[in-house]
Every structure is written in structure tokens, then in C-alpha cells.
Structure 1
Amino acid sequence: MSGYYVVVDELDDWAPYFPSREVISFDQYMAKTEIQTDQTVRILNFCRNKRALGRGYYCSLLAEARGHKVIPNISVLNDLRRKKLYTLKLEDVAKSMAKLKPAGDQTQLTFRIFLGETLETEFADLAKSIFERFSAPILEVTLEKEQSWSLDKIQTLSLKEITAEAEQEFLANTLEKFSNRLWRKPKTRKHYRYDVAMLVNPEEQMPPSDKKALSNFIKAGDKLGINLEVIGKKDYVRLAEYDGLFIRETTSIDHHTYRFAKKAEAEGMVVMDDPTSILRCTNKVYLADLLRTNKVPTPKTLLLSQTDKKSLQEAMDYLGLPIVLKIPDGAFSRGMYKANNLDELQDAMKKLSKTSALVLAQEFLYTEYDWRVGVLNNKPLYACRYFMVKGHWQIYRHDDSKKTAATGGFETLPTYEVPQAVLEAALKACRLIGDGFYGVDVKQATDGRVAVIEVNDNPSIDSAVEDKFLGQALYYEVMAEFLRRLELQ
């Protein structure tokens, strides 16, 4: 189990709360130069003076120098010293502030945030958003109103400034929820070297991994000394408790999965897949241009923005018919159309242009199946052939009215049976993205021509499908890569 400490100026500051061995003074923390060096150490900094050169500032500074994970970190403290910096990071929550309608006619109000939660329920969403960006044990937020509510000030508070009994009780309860390790010791359990969070969404209709596959990842981690714990969207504020993040939820840029990846990277955690990979893979426009520029074999491709017949006729002349149209951030064959003539092309363009300024247009390459090559750290890991749905041109056929999707068959093979040209194209594409975990979709025509369709940053790993050949070894290889990266840090 990882080390966990609450640091206060003086132990008397903790007098209103339940005694705990994990509560230490700033002087005690300074003297503890070797706190559980073989494990991850987490620090909650409750010291009073967090201004530059103050005790609170030095507490966070020493924690970072010692390789401890600390809340708040130095970056947060520095940002909160300058209003221009913290208001800049809160631009995207300005809309939620403008919608606030607190009772009364006051033009200024203040509320407090305790580890992401607040007693004032009307500010709950705002409190969570602020804490996600400025993680500190206690924050005081002041809002002012002219035409609408806007942020006036954010500052950190110390335990000494929490004098109301209701707030003290709320802080104690919130801290208990934030990490019950501080209060309740778990029963004797296996000692893990690392804690890794696995982000999943139980409600997702087409998740990257089914329940059995997730269980297999957990078992593999257990064998390697990694405690792989399932978390969800609501656990964002707990992210710093872990050493790594494994995303097993469909990713997107304008989505919490990307925010989780960014946060994990900023915390110095091992994260798969990293935000750069998500950025490069989830936007098909970016990916298509990246592959073309670096001479990776792909279908003939155009970026379309016009819906007039002249522009579309020129696209038809270059790409031929039929033409496949894609929105930039589609997944699992969603947001795709096949146009067989000019009218269908124009109709599809009008539909897709409502959601994206650019539409990806590609020549249609008919094959009975798509290759999927799983690549981990630029090495091939597994290979599948996904067959088209009977009577359909894709491996998925969605029925939105029933919220279901039909799939074609599959065949899982060892990577040494993959045609060399397919393997080389997949690896070349991955090297342009990074060193994460990817699934590369490749078509191979009857004449031998190979074309990379896309690179997926969050490839599907389902039990009895992608693991059909390697079995549990597939999950072991992924978690072993996590272990390698954790040890390198």
C-alpha cells in the first residue's frame, strides 16, 4: 500500500479532527528524508502559508523534489498567485458561472471547496470544475455579479481558518471519502509495487474491452505486482492517487478521457494512451494528412469542405466511385457514408458538414476483411482479420433505432502469419504516432496493394476475440509494458 501523509504547520492544527499517525507536522516532514522510498508517497499539504517562501510553499516544493505526489503541487500554487493565470485556465467554465442563480440580490458571494466538494449544493458542479484544475485541500472562491456572475478570486485556506463546526465535519467526511486509507486500514492483502487506474464506462454500448477482458487485465497486473483498479468519470479528483492510468474507454478530444490523459501526464504518471496519441489518432483529418505526408500507403484521400456540385464532381473524378465519407472523430464505423453517385455524395456531405467543417473523402477499396494489427511500443502484439457484415460494406452495421450493431466474423492469427507488407505499413504508421498501444486497420487488395485506413489509439481487446491466439499472455504483455515504464520512472 502506498504511503499517505497529511502535513500541517503544527499538530495542534489537527485538534478538531480524529487523531491519526499519518498526520505529521511540517518539521516532522522535513526531518523524514526517507519515507517509504520503495513505494509511492502521497502528501496532502494543509500548511498555512502557501505564498512563495512560506511553509506551505516549501512543503509542496520538498514533496516534488522527493518524488512524492502532493496536493497542491507547485504549479497550482504558482497559478493561484496570479489572477490572470487562474482565470485563463477557467475560461471554459465561465458559461457555468454565468448560469448561476443564487437566491437573493447580492452582487458578491463566497463559497468554499473541500477536496472538490462544497456545502453549497448549487455550486457543486462549479466546485468540481475548479478543483479539477486547481487541486488543493481547501479553496475559497469569490464570485461577483455585474451582468452575470464571474470569478473574482480563488485562494487556498488552512485548517486554522475552518472554524465552523459544520465545515469541520464536512471536511472530515470529505477527506474520509477522498482516501479512506487515512482512516481505515484495509485487511491484510497482497503488497503491490504500483497502483494503476483503469478508466472504464460500464454504460458504454461498444466499449474497447468486455468485462472478462477487463478482469484478465486485472489478473495480469496482479501477477506483476500492479494493483489495477477500475475507476470512472467521477474519479477524476482521485487520479493523483495512482502511479499510472490505463484508458479502456472510447477516447475523444472533447471528452473526459482526454482530460484524464492530460491530467495523468501532468502528474508524471504512466498513461496509456497518452494525450498526444489520442490527439493524433482520433481526428481522421489530421491522421490522413500525417500518413500522406510521411508516405505511408493509404487510399486516395481528399479533404472536402464544399458541397457544390462542381467541387464534388472534381472529387469524383479523382477518387472514382463509390466514395467513402467520414467525420473526423467517428469511431466503430459511425459517422461514415458510402456514396455511389453525385446525388448521394451531395446528400452525405450536407449531413456531415453540419458537425464538421472538413470531411474526409476516400476511394472505396473493397476487401472481404480488414486487417487489425495490434502494436505495443512499436512492436506487433496480435493480429485479427475482421470480416464485413453479410450484405454490408463495413465490419459494423449500426441500427440506431434498436441501439445495436451487427458485426462480421473474425479470425485471430499470430503476427508471423500477417503478410509482410501489411505488417510493415502498420508499424510505419505507428511510429508516426508514438510508442503507445495502437490498433492499425489495414486493407490488402487482391492485387497485393496495401492501404492503412486508420490508427486507433484505444484498440479493442475483447475476450475470445483479440486474445484468441495469445490468451492470457496478451494481457500480461500489456501490463508488463506498464511495469517497464513504471520502473523506468
Structure 2
Amino acid sequence: MKKLIVVNNPKNWKFHVSEVQVVSAKDYLTNTEFTKMRNVRVFNLCKDYSYQSKGYYVSLLAEARGHKVIPNVKSIRDFKAPAVVKNISEEIDDLIQKSLHKLTGSEFTLSIYFGQNVSPQYLELSQELYRQFQAPLLRAHFVFKQKWFIQSIRPICVNEIPDSHLEMVDQFAKEYFDKNRFSSAHTDDYLYDLAILVNPEEKEPPSNAKAIQKFIAAAEKTGFRVELITKKDYHRVGEFDALFIRETTNVNHHTYAFARRAQSQGIAVIDDPDSILRCSNKVYLQELMTVGKIPAPHTIIAHSENRHELSKQIGFPMILKAPDSSFSMGVVKVKDEKELQANLDKMFESSDLIIAQEFTPTKFDWRIGILDGRPFYACRYYMAKDHWQIYNWNSKNEDDICGLFDCVPLDEVPHGIIKAALRVASLIGNGLYGVDLKEVNGKPMVIEVNDNPSIDDNIEDQIGGEKVYLTIMHSLRRRIEERMNSAQQRLLQHHGIDSYIL
């Protein structure tokens, strides 16, 4: 990936950084050579990022050209938003107090050069502020009123660095631009950067280790350089062209925050935040299916007012589901009124609404994998031994926790199953979904839609093999290029911008 440092005047650039081209803001904005470039990372070090300044337009047009830029326009806007600065100050309050507690004055200014400071005692605070604001050169102003807090933070230009700091900043710059995330020995082999969000500590992740390696291989074949990231890398989302979430998602969770950040920065993301929001709450899904007239087991949204009517309307045995249940957890079967009311009491402690559903026993559940409105795998999951669910988390025998499974060629899946899966998925979006269904008396019944479906080695890929992984990677690449083409078309429509800038 080619690296560009954009400054107002290259003659003022004072640092010795290898394999990086230093160009003027004027050249970057007006020279068509840069408009045509692909696979570029831009470091915007202009002296002014104010609205409609050269520095602002460098980041704006970099995004329109599909270049990865630091800082991006969202970060630039955050500098000017007192509410954002206040929120971040509150989020990292403990670190601020720990770092500044020895100071005796009422004001303090911290200069942050490529995520570092000339004084080691402020290194942790400097790194955190860089992670939050993503600008190579920053200056934060703190004030003390009962405790320290950030009053303002802004990017600075090279000319604002004191001469006494230049030698150390030169070393910081070398370390910063030499980082692996900005370069690769195989630079010419890849077009885009992909982050795969995983949780090494998760007991039942959506993809096992072998499947993750297959995703990486498919991504590299599709033109991606791949990096596995974890929740601690939230600040780095903007460094990538695409984000693929392979950690169990939830709205009240960092996975949703990752998806939101990626979407807000125009980064291709699976799962997108809208799909997470819609699929992770079964109350929402039930209402959606009712309005869309999707075939499903008899279901009622239970609350304090109708809890004593459920047995009459549904009967026993009855299934109760917490709104955010997943992998069969948070789902219980009750056999009589006593069990029903006891479980409702417990479940109402965490949610005002619960799903109550008729029990529809079958030997297996269908799972249809759908992406971009098309099915791309079909799997049958059989019930766990001597249990009514696919998973039996109470089993003492580890081999009996989950049931058997097999994949089925799509052309052998009952037509009604595919049709119902596509119908319900279309109500949610065009993301990656795993639609769970039962077939009762020859008719499909949709149970739920998962935004983060399991794709494990030698399970969901039994029939499709490598194609399962390539399908997802091709979708991510297409999303990137569609966004780039759309942005470039908008840019052409406003091609008169250069005369105003200069």
C-alpha cells in the first residue's frame, strides 16, 4: 500500500521517514495522478483542518477517492464538537487523573506526536488520546477544577513543534510509519485491508479456528490483506477498508460499537449495525414477522398484563425466549402453569417483554445461509441426544452437548423452506443471515433470523467448501468498490471545487 504524507509545504517537512512520499496539499487536491491512485494510505498533516480549508478537503477527497486517510472527516469534526471532547474526557477520567495527579498548576498542555510524548510519564495518556482522535500530531489542553479534564484538543502542524522536541519527534515518526499495519512485504499483492473481529476467549464463537484460517485464505485470494483484531482495537477501525465480525454480536456490546463505527466511516462491514439491531432482539423479529405475514409457530409477546392468559392461548408445553437469547441459551421449555409463572418472574427481571411460543417438535432445524439476498448454503441441525434443542448445555457428557448435522445442496432443499427464508431475510436487509426454520406437516415455519450465523470448518462448508468463504469475501470487496464508485461519481459532479480551494 502506497503511503502519502500531505502537508501544506513539503519544504517544511523536517523528518526522515523511508518509503513515504511527501506531497503538498495543492498537488494532492488538483493533480489527477492522485485521483487515479488505488491502494493508498494518506496521512493528512496540513496546518489547518477547519471547514473548507485545504486540510479539510484533503481528508474529504481522500475518502471520496477510496484512499485510507488519517485523520478522516469524522475525526476532524470531533475536534470541533465540545460534547465529543467532554464525553471522551469522562470516558478516560481515571487515566487523566492518574497521569496528571502530580501537577500543581491549574492548566496543562500536552503535545502528542505520533501517539507519543517526549516525557515517558505521559505516554499512556498520549497513546489513548491518539486512539480516540486519530491525528498524528495533537495538542490537548487540560484545566483543573476539583479534578483535571480536557478543555480542548486540536491537531497541530509541523511548524508548531518546538525545536527542542524535533529530534525525539523524528524518532517517533520513524517508529510510527514503520509499523506493520502501514506496510507489508507483499504490498503489491493486495488491494484492500480487511479486519476480522474475533474473541480468542469466547467459548462458542461463530467460527472456529480452522474456519477463521479459511476466511483468511479466501480473503487473500480476493485481494485483501487480513488482520485479526479484538475489542481493544476499536480505535483502529478506520485503518481498514472492510470489517468482518466473527464474534457473537449484541446491541449492548462492543461488537455493535465496532459495526457502528465502521458504518459511520464508510467502511464495508458484515454484520452491519442495522442487522445486529434487528436480529438480536426476538421481540423485534416477532413483530416484523407478524407484519410481514411470515409463517411461524404461534407466538405471543408476553408482558405483565397478559402473563396469565398465555396458557389458554398457547397451551403446554410452551417455549419462553429472552429477547436477546442465542445458541439456545436464554430459551426454556415449561410444562405447566407453575413453571410458566416462575420462569416469567425470573425473565421479567431483565426485560419487560418476553417471547412465548408454541412447542413445535421436529427431528432437525433447517438453517439457510443468505447473503445479499441469495442463499449460499443449507444445513440441518439435529436435536441433541435426549433433548428438545440443538444444544443441551446441561449435558454432563461433552459429546452430547450438541446434536448431529449435515449440509444439503441448495437444489435439494424444499422450495418452501428457501422461499420463506428469503422472504424474512428481505425484511431485515441485505447482510449475512442464518435463517432457522422448521418443516411441520410439509410447511415451513420460521423460528428466527441470526445476523451472525455459525460458519465452522467441516459443518456449514461441507457442501460448498471454499465457495462459502469466497462468497462472503467477494461481497465485502463488491461493497467497497460500489462505495468508491459512488463517491467518485459525486466528486465528479462537484469538480469545480478546486478553483475554490486554491
Per the normalisation by structure 2, the TM-score is 0.84
How has the CA–CA distance of structure 1 residues 210 and 168 changed in structure 2, closer, same or farther, with 3 Å as cutoff? same
Kept in 2: contact 1:191–1:225 (CA 8 A): yes
1:97 is matched with which residue: 76, 88, 93?
93
Q: Helix, strand or coil: the match of 2:36?
A: coil
CA distance in 2, matches of 1:125, 1:406: 46
2:465 to 467, 471, 476: 471
Partner of 1:4: 3
- Kindly indicate whether the alpha-carbon contact (under 8 Å) linking 2:89 and 2:150 is maintained by their aligned counterparts in 1: no
Is 35-44 or 108-117 further displaced after alignment? 108-117
AA in 1 matched with 2:24: S
Partner of 1:450: 444
Number of residue equivalences: 477
Q: CA deviation at 1:386?
A: 0.6
With over 3 angstroms needed to count, the CA separation of the structure-2 counterparts of 1:355 and 1:71, relative to structure 1, is same
1:90-489 to structure 2, matched below 5 A, reads 91=87, 94=90, 96-97=92-93, 101-102=97-98, 103-104=101-102, 107-114=106-113, 124=124, 128=128, 131=130, 134-146=133-145, 149-163=148-162, 164=165, 168=169, 171-172=172-173, 175-176=176-177, 181=182, 186-187=184-185, 191-306=189-304, 311-399=306-394, 406-445=401-440, 447-489=441-483
> In the alignment, what sits opposite 2:500?
none
- Identical-pair percentage: 39
Q: How far does residue 412 in structure 1 lie from its aligned partner after superposition?
A: 0.9
1:343–1:192 CA distance, 2 compared to 1 (3 A): same
Task: Return the letter of the residue paired with 2:481.
Answer: E
State the Cα distance separating 1:356 from its structure 2 match.
Answer: 2.5
Counterpart Cα distance in 2 of 1:354 and 1:178 = 48
2:196–2:229 contact (8 Å) kept in structure 1: yes
SS of residue paired to 2:189: coil
Shift of 1:33: 2.5
Q: Kindly provide the CA deviation profile for residues 412-459 of structure 1, in whole angstroms up to 9, marking residues without a partner as x.
A: 1011222222221111110011111110011122x2343211111111
* 8 Å CA contact 2:3, 2:20 repeated in 1: no
Cα 1:41/1:190, change in 2 over 3 Å? closer
1:253 is matched by which residue type in structure 2? V
**Equivalent position SS for 1:317:** helix
Shift of 1:174: 5.8
Could you tell me how far 1:409 is from its partner in structure 2? 0.5
Deviations 1:4-31 (A, max 9, x none): 2121233354324445542333344345
Residues 1:149 and 1:375: Cα distance change in structure 2 (over 3 Å): same
The 8 Å contact of residues 299 and 358 in structure 2, kept in 1 or not, is answered as yes
Paired AA for residue 452 in structure 1: V
Change (3 A) 1:61 1:426: closer
Residues 115 and 126, structure 2, Cα contact 8 Å, conserved in 1: no
Change over 3 Å in CA distance of 1:220–1:260 after alignment to 2 = same
Cα 1:270–1:107 shift into 2, 3 Å:
same
- Quote how far apart the aligned CAs of 1:167 are: 6.1
1:29 aligns with 2:36: no
Whole-angstrom distance in 1 between the partners of 2:176 and 2:197: 22
Kindly tell me: are residues 117 and 411 of structure 1, through their superposed partners in 2, closer, same or farther at Cα, counting changes over 3 Å?
A: farther
Deviation at 1:399, TM superposition (A): 4.7
Greater mean alpha carbon deviation, residues 412-421 or residues 224-233: 224-233
TM-score computed with the length of structure 1 as normaliser: 0.86
Alpha-carbon distance in structure 1 between the residues aligned to 2:151 and 2:333: 52
SS state at 1:375 partner: strand
Counterpart-to-counterpart distance in 2, 1:264 and 1:77: 16
Q: Once superposed, what is the RMSD of the aligned Cα atoms?
A: 3.1
Alpha-carbon distance change, 213 to 116 in structure 1, aligned in 2, over 3 angstroms: same
Letter in 1 for 2:138: L
Give the whole-Å Cα distance in 1 for the aligned partners of 2:25 and 2:398.
56
Per-residue deviation, residues 130-167 of structure 1 (Å, max 9, x unmatched) = 65554322333334444555442222222333333686
2:112–2:126 CA contact under 8 A, matched in 1: no
Moved more, 275-284 or 111-120: 111-120
* Structure-2 change in CA distance of 1:189 and 1:59 (3 Å): closer
Q: Name the aligned partner's letter for residue 234 of structure 2.
A: Y
Asked if the contact 1:61–1:74 (Cα under 8 Å) also holds between the matched residues in 2, the reply is yes
Distance 1:303 1:32 in 2: 60
CA distance in 2, matches of 1:286, 1:202: 30
Return the alpha-carbon distance in structure 2 between the equivalents of residues 99 and 137 of structure 1: 21
DSSP-derived class of the 1:397 partner? coil
Task: Give the whole-Å Cα distance in 2 for the aligned partners of 1:268 and 1:181.
Answer: 19
Amino acid at match of 1:448: G
Moved more, 365-374 or 117-126: 117-126
SS of 2:393's equivalent in the other structure is strand
Letter in 1 for 2:244: F
Structure-2 residue corresponding to 1:43: 42
**Residues 323-368 of structure 1: CA deviation (Å, up to 9, x unaligned):** 2222222221112222222222222223223332322222222112
Q: Secondary structure at the match of 1:473?
A: helix
